[in-house]
Structure 1
Amino acid sequence: MTLVKSSSGIRGTLEGKIGKGFSPIEIIQFAAGYVFWMKKKYKNKKKFVLILGRDGRVTSVLFQKFLIIVFQSLGVDVINIGLSTTPTVGIAVINEKADGGVMLTASHNPKNWNGLKMFNSYGEFLSEKDFEKMLYITEKKYFSFSSYKKLGHLFYKENYIQKHIKKILSLSIIDKNIIQKTKLKIVVDGINSTGGIAVPSLLNYLGVHVIKMHCDPHGDFVHNPEPIKKNLREICKKVPDIKADLGISVDPDVDRVVFICENGDFFGEEYTLVSIADYILENQLGPIVSTLSSSHALKDLSLKKGVPYYSTPVGEIHVVKKMKEVHAVVGGEGNGGVIYPKFRYGRDALVGIALFLTQISKLDNIPLSKLKERYSNYFMSKKKIRFFYPSREKMKILLKKIKKKYKEKKMDFSDGIKIYLKNNEWIHIRKSNTENIIRIHTESYSKKRADFLSKEILYEIKGL
């Protein structure tokens, strides 16, 4: 039984007692708290409109009904766009001039999870300050329901994913014609969620020959939905077997994307942002922003291009905040999340795919395995250790112990602890925003060395 509340959204497992998991009671309370946060923030408004979307999870259809009832009972009009992606909800908020939006999804978490991602009127996630206010309202139950005379209305708008795609294709940096001429053959793993609709649809517009895998959005995920190497063995095998040019995999709500090389090698979730940043910087120079857990290869790229690089704590809201401060031309996270601010301040796998395909099509269709050779070759180890009784005190003890061990090294404490070693090696230890786990990311010049560094930290943690 798990319930996680962070600026990345509300997420939990679908079982257990009230307050211990993600149940209809939690949906009602958080939905009501969100509406009254919104009414307080935009207090001069008399009528409120929300966008509602969902991913393909088995429980999303059922929980969507709860959300509609709650929102209407609070006097809010609901525009239901149905099966959607997280970035599509953000686009719909902007297009419809709505006061906010909710995406029913647990992102990359397993299929026994679900959750809520909440947007402001700019189609962006709530800031940390706004999220804390929303949580306070929810916990204190500072909300009341409307009379029968003031119930909200329900509207349906179909094909919003298509509207999202057409808006992407209107970007001047996307070259639809050159992609069509390249005649790419691409395998798509849609993880039986909305990526199975959105990604093939985008590729069809771009004249790509698509081979679908797990693209029926019934939500019964055939593998762990986090798009990382160990979960994508099937597509890594299929791409070379059918002689495809590349493979594409996304997470269930389509804000992260990774690529598979023509020879079946994993291009690497870290190199999604590196390669796309490279292409954007060819067109417009400016600052880059990513997280403390992202590969040093992105910083190396910024040095090569002569542009500033900034790092932030992990989380889309932190990256977006810094991007706005420094007027970054591109940003994102090393997990495959790309933010292109000329489109929207939010991670968007579909924008990432369109940018990436334009890039490789302009490079005379060189194989992906060769494209990766253009960038610094680092190796990362990403480990995690689960804990069932979260304790800030235990985390403090751990960080104190690690700090003492590496006291001679440069450190950053803005998000857990990041330790900088020689030769661009580093260790980052932090509590996850989305699960009850501690994440340990290390990077080095060899896989063996990166694994050794992470195992050392795991030993320290288990010692507690």
Structure 2
Amino acid sequence: MTLIKSISGIRGTIGGNPGDNLTPIDAVKFAAAYGTWLKNYTDKEKLMVVIGRDARLSGEMIQNLVVSTLVGLGIDVVDLGLSTTPTVEIAVPLEKADGGIILTASHNPKQWNALKLLNEKGEFLNAEEGAKILELAERENFNFAEVDDLGTITKNDAYIDIHVDEVLDLSLVDTDTIRQKKFKVVVDGVNSTGGIAIPKLMEALGVEVVELYCEPTGHFPHNPEPLKEHLSDICALVVKEKADFGIVVDPDVDRLAFIDNEGEMFGEEYTLVACADYVLGKTKGNTVSNLSSSRALRDITEKHGGSYEAAAVGEVNVVAKMKATNAIIGGEGNGGIIYPESHYGRDSLVGTALFLMLLSEKGGTVSELRASYPSYFMAKKKIQLTPDLDVDGILKGMAEKYKNEDISTIDGVKIDFAENWVHLRKSNTEPIIRIYTEAKSQTEADGLADRIISEIKEVAGL
């Protein structure tokens, strides 16, 4: 059972002891810290915060606690109810709110939940802002409102529809072009809010939908991380239905994966590659992804005459680098598409629409599209952490071992070899060391990952 406090939010497992897990007491404490930080940050007389949640089983409980805490601080709340992470992100500026909270543990299993915190732009807080909130939570120096100054609650369940309309209005999305292709897709919404949002978007674009696990019950039918080993049902159904492709999202709809027409994974890393290929083909510009993402994005960007840069892992880091380099599209290799014309947040609705436009204009099948891109293979493995492990010492030891290679230490240790790379980092969201590798074949990528894991264990004395 775990409680993790990081720039990715306050994330933990439900139940157990306060301070060790995400209990009701912890939910109230961190909501109060966020609300207090907002009040300290501005001299406005009345503040407003947008709240939305995914469909996980603890969502309603955590939402009631968080909303009531903000109201107790004298902050007005716009309650979106069941929503998605990108929907809350676009709602914050549209409501002219002072911040937002998304209640979701993203790809984590059902026992997890989290408070993901936004600023007035609908963007994730940076590390400095997050540190101030953690400090306020530690001190528990909260000043709640008197009865005449309590906040109000306004419910608004229209925002998924508003979000769909925002996607349809993007300059590079042409509804008629997509409608003419009469696509048929299978959608796996993992019984969360993607099962609401993605079919709504498909209907608006004239795409026939076969729904799989689209009831927002919160009972995840498989591990909610959209990886190949969890997606056998949709892979089989795409073939059975003779669909053009399949769409898979995680519970809060900020990660997007495709299944090709043959029931094979398009490749989570290639979601961003394909969307960038379409956008860069229409608009010259630069791209950004994180250090753990595929080299294929760099290759596609340079093919279109643009410049590619890598950021530290974490959406807030990618967004900062995108702003610094005026990137026109970016994101993370886990299927997260960030398209600034819409907003600076990972958005599966935007990614799906851009992918449909690419497929509409290029023609051919999704498997043929995937074959047209540079072919890289990744291995994503992990080492479980124990309290006695000196993670920083392990990473330092690995950097020293490979000091004669191309090394980056802005986020863990990334070692770039001529034909492949490995990235080692401590996770922001789980008590693990992540080991990502990429090479020209799966065998080579797996072999490199296994070799590095052995070397880590040797450095750690395991």
Residue 20 of structure 1 and its aligned partner are, at CA, apart by: 0.5
**1:112-145 residue CA offsets vs partner (Å, 9 max, x unmatched):** 1000111100111111111111111111113211
Q: Distance in 2 between matches of 1:18 and 1:117?
A: 19
The one-letter amino acid of 2:141's match is Y
Q: Distance in 2 between matches of 1:207 and 1:287?
A: 31
Residue 385 of structure 1 and its aligned partner are, at CA, apart by: 1.6
The one-letter amino acid of 1:137's match is L
User: How many pairs are equivalent?
Assistant: 459
1:385-396 equivalent positions in 2, closer than 5 A: 385-389=383-387, 394-396=390-392
Equivalent residue for 2:379, pick from 375, 378, 381? 381
Equivalent residue for 2:450, pick from 438, 449, 455? 455
Find the counterpart in structure 1 of residue 2 from structure 2.
2
Q: Distance in 1 between matches of 2:301 and 2:78?
A: 41
5+ residue gaps, structure 2, are none
Q: Distance in 1 between matches of 2:109 and 2:131?
A: 26
Find the counterpart in structure 2 of residue 341 from structure 1.
340
**Runs of 4 or more above 4 Å deviation:** none
Q: Is the 8 A contact 1:71 1:77 kept in 2?
A: yes
Q: Is the 8 A contact 1:390 1:436 kept in 2?
A: no
Residue 388 of structure 1 and its aligned partner are, at CA, apart by: 4.0
1:52-201 equivalent positions in 2, closer than 5 A: 52-201=51-200
The one-letter amino acid of 1:460's match is E
Q: Distance in 2 between matches of 1:403 and 1:130?
A: 30
**220 and 155 in structure 1: CA distance in 2 versus 1, 3 angstrom threshold:** same
**1:282-320 residue CA offsets vs partner (Å, 9 max, x unmatched):** 111111000000000111112211211110110000010
Q: Distance in 1 between matches of 2:224 and 2:290?
A: 22
Residue 267 of structure 1 and its aligned partner are, at CA, apart by: 0.1
Find the counterpart in structure 1 of residue 315 from structure 2.
316
Over the matched positions of the two proteins, sequence identity in percent amounts to 49
Residue 461 of structure 1 and its aligned partner are, at CA, apart by: 3.1
Q: Which stretch has the larger CA shift, 259-268 or 452-461? A: 452-461
5+ residue gaps, structure 1, are none
Q: TM-score, normalised by structure 1?
A: 0.97
Find the counterpart in structure 2 of residue 330 from structure 1.
329
Find the counterpart in structure 2 of residue 251 from structure 1.
250
CA root-mean-square deviation: 1.0
Q: Is the 8 A contact 1:57 1:105 kept in 2?
A: yes
Find the counterpart in structure 1 of residue 421 from structure 2.
426
Q: Is the 8 A contact 1:11 1:106 kept in 2?
A: yes
| SS of match in other structure, 1:186 | strand
Q: Is the 8 A contact 1:106 1:113 kept in 2?
A: yes
Q: Distance in 2 between matches of 1:182 and 1:302?
A: 27
Please say if 1:15 is aligned against 2:20: no
| SS of match in other structure, 1:270 | helix
**1:178-236 residue CA offsets vs partner (Å, 9 max, x unmatched):** 11110011000000000000000100001111000000001010111011111111111
Find the counterpart in structure 2 of residue 410 from structure 1.
406
Q: Is the 8 A contact 2:398 2:456 kept in 1?
A: no
Q: TM-score, normalised by structure 2?
A: 0.98
1:213-362 equivalent positions in 2, closer than 5 A: 213-362=212-361
Find the counterpart in structure 2 of residue 34 from structure 1.
34
